[in-house]
Amino acid sequence: QVQLVESGGGWVQPGGSLRLSCTASGFTEDYFPIAWFRQAPGKEREAVSCLSNRDGRVYYVDGMKGRFTISRDNANKNTVYLQINSLKPEDTAVYYCASTTTYYYCSEYERHYSYWGQGTQVTVSA
């Protein structure tokens, strides 16, 4: 059974940084994509970034590139990180990681992913 567990969220002041972790388990192969989404209060969930474990390529949704960096633990491809720098109050959201065993490629659409973590809260305020 595939499971995804996020960690690393918390409270941070504007301008600070956080590194979120997503650890996946239960995969029979290690080249499925792992994506990050976020949902701010009162808003729909939106894609942030995705890493294709098949070829190591990374993808960012428009507007997310620059302050967000997705990477993986090369010793364990099922651990993916999201580094967020220069945090702003509008980055406050629950951050989720997601994956699929149906497709080997990334997508910015929620329906592409079958497995979701429980989310980790990121709060940015002074």
What is the per-residue pLDDT across 29-43, written as a single tens digit (0 to 9) for each?
A: 778 999 999 999 999
pLDDT of residue 27: 87
pLDDT of residue 122: 98
Say what the alpha-carbon torsion angle 121, 4, 33, 53 is, to the nearest 10 degrees. Answer: 110
Between strands 120-124 and 10-12, the pairing is parallel
**Banded pLDDT at 100 (limits 50, 70, 90):** very high
